Structure 1
Amino acid sequence: MAEQISSLQETDSLTKDPKAQEDFSREAAETIARASELAAAGRVDEAVEACLIVEKKARQASDGSSASKLSCHVLKMFKEKGRWPDVHEYLQLLPKKRGQLKRAIIDMVQMAMKWLDDTGSEEEKLRLIGTLDAVTDGKIFVEVERARLVKLLAGIKEAKGEVDEAAKLMQEVQVETFGAMDRREKAEFILEQMRLVLARQDFVRCQIISKKINPKLLEAEDFQDLKITFYSFMVRYWLSEGDHMQVAKCFWSIFSTPSVKDSKEDWMDSLQKYLLFLLLAPLDNEQQDMLHKLRTIEEKKMDKMPLFKKILADFLQQEVVAWPMPSGAQLQAHEVFQEKPYEGGSERWGLLRKRIIQHNIKVVAQYYTKIGLVRLAEVLAVTEDECEKETAELVCAKSVAAKIDRPAKEVTFGEKKDSTALPSVWNQDVQKVLDLVNESCHLIQKERMVAAAKAKVR
């Protein structure tokens, strides 16, 4: 417990000033007024010297308010006279003074950041950013300001085409550890990091950065726009990995956003992409479960999209789906199967054909225990080699139990019977027969008793 208290005290000393020993507010106000008159008369250096004398007294007495006002006024006088070299010099000099108070440094940095758009030239703006970066470096109480400066500098570099440099700058700042930064601003900063690493095709680092955002945070009402942005970035990441199931889940998260559901155009777009990427995912139990839930939960919305409702029904029913599909041209025109906004549209169209073939194989497995390879290829409308390849892939994925006899050109569906399990199967069959015999005897006895009772009554 004592160690925790000591640790808290040390942290507090890094972010707060000691208690003021003396109040210099009146003397500071008088000095600022007199310095303003001297500066108006062109005697800026005298005004600065007068301010620094009182600033030193306030600093030594830990009067943060007065020291801050005097330090800021010094910088302001140089800025108003357009003496930018002096602004840079004193902006670096004042924070380095012995015992300088944190409030003074914070106020000077925040004030100087407001001048970034008033520098008059991009070169001077970059110099001021560099000066502020040097001032804020290593100071925990201005870590938020430093992060904003880095973000601004990264934006300038990106505008010049230096995307790699911009991404590296942003990665150096770990905003997830900043306690003073607002949670929305923190999330926006992390999303900017993700955007820049995606721009340089660094997908591994994008996945690492995405772990810094808690998905539960994105469910807040004021985070809806950030949630859409986050999952849009994750779609690009999972596409690079070729994981269409995760891509589908990302679009479902976008579809589940209240602001998206309020717009018919938005929810139709996200729901269509969710369904198409779900169909491109491997044919396993998870995919089938999600398809059934989509048909059940969003039935009314699917009714407004007849084409996609028909495709969903085709994949859920135990019937062979024809290829090419009757609505193939209309479906192929969808942006999921185009090169923009996501590259690889033609590959995804080929993958859809592959999933339909695999679906058809699973349907055939429901109705046949043995079928000729030639006949199976004919049903699937593919070559024998492709039929064999897709069947083998499903067997390896354990989606279908089958055995291919290549010399005989036959495919046998169903699990191989285990010899050790046969006695158990026989035992169950015998038990069923005995149960039926016992039940039949009971019914016969019941009928005899009923017939005997009727005979007595007569």
Structure 2
Amino acid sequence: MSQAPRKQEADHTKDCDETIPVAESLASSGQVQEALDKLLTLEKLTRNSADLASTTRVLIAIISILHQHKQYDLLNTHITLLSKKHGQLRQATQKMVDEAMTYLDNLDGKPKLDLIETLRDVTEGKIYLEVPRARVTRMLATIREKEGDLAKANELMQDLQVETFGSMERREKVDFILEQMRLLKALEDWDKLGIVAKRINVKWLTEKEHEDLKLRYYSLMILWGLNAGKYLDVCKFYRQVYETPSIQDDEAKWSAVLRNIVYFVILAPYDNEQSDLLARVFKDEKLVKVTESYDLMKCFTAPELMRWPGIEGLYGASLRQTKVFGPTGVAGVAGDIEEDSKHSQGDKRYEVLHDRIIEHNIRTLSKYYTRMTITRLSQLLDLTPAKTEAFLSSLVSSKTVYAKIDRPAGIVSFQAPKSGDEVLNEWSSDVGKLMGLIEKSTHLIQKEYAVHAALKAQHGLKS
């Protein structure tokens, strides 16, 4: 096929006007082959003359006649044949493929599969036909999925690098990538799903007209985050859903999303980012309306101890009714996470919640105490001494708190040793404060002397 544009040498519009109706009449009378012969002769003439409009008309007429008369084998053969003709015009081939794709909606079974495979063969390796190829491939993947062959459907879709297609609209690209992600989710290929998700520009999803795609994207990413145990990421994904206008307009929806935001921000391991996000979520004015979530979050923002038996008594029953914290098979509540019983991790997350409360308590105690016995610390944490040491070790390893255990004495020290510079700076500061106090005291003494002298002088004058 020629790569450079060719100049039209002749106009065969009149020939098409005469020949195409005759061919259609012959086909209607059962002489399909005779009709094809006439049209193929005309096709050669128009193609050699580089008459794009006429060539397009002839190609469409050929496949239209074959489709109307259900000559599906000939249809597939001629689509392949016409696309490979020497000097065939690209635009004409594009129009022919577009026309053939309209037939797929009315076909079923083997004829549909054969036409899809034909179109895939014709479009393979041709950049100007990459969009039609992607569309028919998606149709084939849908068929394979309905047949139960998820692996084949996924393989077909993953072969499409639609993010590189310059001729495909961005919305359609994102829709294709979301379909790829959905199939990967069905196959539980979470690592690949995370990679494919990076092909989508999340900033583009923030536009109001793309809300449906945004919600589909984040529903998949939430499942990815749940599987990976990335609770802070899940919280961020829910925040993106929460900020969607359609969610904000429905109180039932935003309250459910806000509840999940609270759950996952408190489940996330403590660090600067988690602490900052916790504070920002707590400042949300709407959170007060979700009473239980507000009260639970208030416990995590206040620098006070939380006793696990008390928290479990207050919130345990309602938390265990959700899929986030509930046992396997729990029905869940409105707006709950989309996690089936096969992948339920509610019991695990409930244990993580207990761990986060213990970690919060240790951080709180480290602010108020410099030293404490392990026995007393274990009592406050409602843990055994062995588990207390394990949690302390974990927090020390992550540099969340400083702690040093003196096992023979049974004492935990929360006071970090100071470096030479810190000791010197502290000494210098103390000396500065001391000199300031001495100067102030001297000034006050001098003032008293002056006042006393003035009073004495007054008495001397009176006498």
- TM-score, with length taken from structure 1: 0.92
**Counterparts of 1:318 and 1:420, CA distance in 2:** 30
The answer (yes or no) to whether the contact 1:280–1:348 under 8 Å persists in 2 is yes
Matched, 1:278 2:262: no
Q: Which runs of 5+ in 1 are unaligned?
A: 1-12
**Counterparts of 1:38 and 1:32, CA distance in 2:** 10
User: 1:312-349: CA deviations, max 9, x gaps?
Assistant: 11001111112132121112212212457333111001
Question: Residues 12-27 of structure 1: matches in 2 within 5 Å?
Answer: 17-27=5-15
> Root-mean-square deviation (CA), in Å?
2.1
One-letter identity of the residue aligned with 1:341? E
Match of 2:212 among 214, 225, 236: 225
- Taking a change above 3 Å as real, the CA distance of residues 408 and 22 of structure 1, as seen in their structure-2 partners, is same
Instruction: Name the counterpart of 2:105.
Output: 117
Instruction: Name the counterpart of 1:361.
Output: 362
Match of 1:332 among 299, 315, 320: 320
DSSP 3-state at the match of 2:324:
helix
Once the 2 structures are TM-superposed, how far is the Cα of residue 230 of structure 1 from its aligned partner?
1.2
One-letter identity of the residue aligned with 2:418? K
One-letter identity of the residue aligned with 2:338? P
Once the 2 structures are TM-superposed, how far is the Cα of residue 395 of structure 1 from its aligned partner?
1.0
**Counterparts of 2:444 and 2:244, CA distance in 1:** 62
Question: Residues 296-375 of structure 1: matches in 2 within 5 Å?
Answer: 296=283, 298-299=284-285, 301-324=286-309, 325=311, 326-338=314-326, 339=328, 341-342=338-339, 343-375=344-376
Instruction: Name the counterpart of 2:162.
Output: 175
One-letter identity of the residue aligned with 2:69? K
Instruction: Name the counterpart of 1:205.
Output: 192
Q: State the identity as a percent.
A: 38
Once the 2 structures are TM-superposed, how far is the Cα of residue 118 of structure 1 from its aligned partner?
2.1
**Counterparts of 2:99 and 2:167, CA distance in 1:** 18
Instruction: Name the counterpart of 2:46.
Output: 58
The answer (yes or no) to whether the contact 1:373–1:409 under 8 Å persists in 2 is yes
Once the 2 structures are TM-superposed, how far is the Cα of residue 443 of structure 1 from its aligned partner?
4.6
Once the 2 structures are TM-superposed, how far is the Cα of residue 53 of structure 1 from its aligned partner?
1.6
**Counterparts of 2:430 and 2:420, CA distance in 1:** 16
Instruction: Name the counterpart of 1:430.
Output: 431
- Taking a change above 3 Å as real, the CA distance of residues 35 and 432 of structure 1, as seen in their structure-2 partners, is same
The answer (yes or no) to whether the contact 2:248–2:254 under 8 Å persists in 1 is yes
DSSP 3-state at the match of 1:414:
coil
Instruction: Name the counterpart of 1:100.
Output: 88
The answer (yes or no) to whether the contact 2:223–2:338 under 8 Å persists in 1 is no
**Counterparts of 1:241 and 1:222, CA distance in 2:** 30
**Counterparts of 2:150 and 2:454, CA distance in 1:** 99
DSSP 3-state at the match of 1:320:
coil
The answer (yes or no) to whether the contact 1:224–1:257 under 8 Å persists in 2 is yes
Once the 2 structures are TM-superposed, how far is the Cα of residue 452 of structure 1 from its aligned partner?
7.1
User: 1:29-88: CA deviations, max 9, x gaps?
Assistant: 221112122222222222211112221121112111110111111111111111111111
**Counterparts of 1:233 and 1:94, CA distance in 2:** 43
DSSP 3-state at the match of 1:385:
helix
One-letter identity of the residue aligned with 2:260? K
Instruction: Name the counterpart of 1:88.
Output: 76
**Counterparts of 2:214 and 2:8, CA distance in 1:** 45
Once the 2 structures are TM-superposed, how far is the Cα of residue 284 of structure 1 from its aligned partner?
1.8
Instruction: Name the counterpart of 2:331.
Output: none
Question: Residues 147-158 of structure 1: matches in 2 within 5 Å?
Answer: 147-158=134-145
**Counterparts of 1:57 and 1:447, CA distance in 2:** 121
Number of matched pairs: 442
Once the 2 structures are TM-superposed, how far is the Cα of residue 439 of structure 1 from its aligned partner?
3.0
One-letter identity of the residue aligned with 1:150? T
Instruction: Name the counterpart of 1:214.
Output: 201
- TM-score, with length taken from structure 2: 0.91
Matched, 1:72 2:60: yes
Instruction: Name the counterpart of 1:240.
Output: 227
Match of 1:28 among 4, 10, 16: 16
**Counterparts of 1:101 and 1:360, CA distance in 2:** 75
The answer (yes or no) to whether the contact 2:307–2:380 under 8 Å persists in 1 is no
Instruction: Name the counterpart of 2:440.
Output: 439
Question: Residues 247-258 of structure 1: matches in 2 within 5 Å?
Answer: 247-258=234-245
**Counterparts of 1:62 and 1:443, CA distance in 2:** 108
The answer (yes or no) to whether the contact 1:17–1:64 under 8 Å persists in 2 is no
- Taking a change above 3 Å as real, the CA distance of residues 440 and 137 of structure 1, as seen in their structure-2 partners, is same
Question: Residues 179-198 of structure 1: matches in 2 within 5 Å?
Answer: 179-198=166-185
Instruction: Name the counterpart of 2:254.
Output: 267
User: 1:198-253: CA deviations, max 9, x gaps?
Assistant: 21121221121111111111112211111111122122222232221111111111
Instruction: Name the counterpart of 2:333.
Output: none
**Counterparts of 2:445 and 2:183, CA distance in 1:** 83
Instruction: Name the counterpart of 1:378.
Output: 379
Match of 1:45 among 33, 37, 59: 33
Instruction: Name the counterpart of 1:8.
Output: none
- Taking a change above 3 Å as real, the CA distance of residues 450 and 164 of structure 1, as seen in their structure-2 partners, is farther
User: 1:120-161: CA deviations, max 9, x gaps?
Assistant: x31221111111111111111110000011111111111111
DSSP 3-state at the match of 1:337:
coil
DSSP 3-state at the match of 1:38:
helix
**Counterparts of 1:156 and 1:404, CA distance in 2:** 64
Instruction: Name the counterpart of 2:388.
Output: 387
**Counterparts of 1:447 and 1:230, CA distance in 2:** 78
The answer (yes or no) to whether the contact 2:8–2:51 under 8 Å persists in 1 is yes
Q: Which runs of 5+ in 2 are unaligned?
A: 329-336
The answer (yes or no) to whether the contact 1:218–1:227 under 8 Å persists in 2 is yes
**Counterparts of 1:148 and 1:210, CA distance in 2:** 20
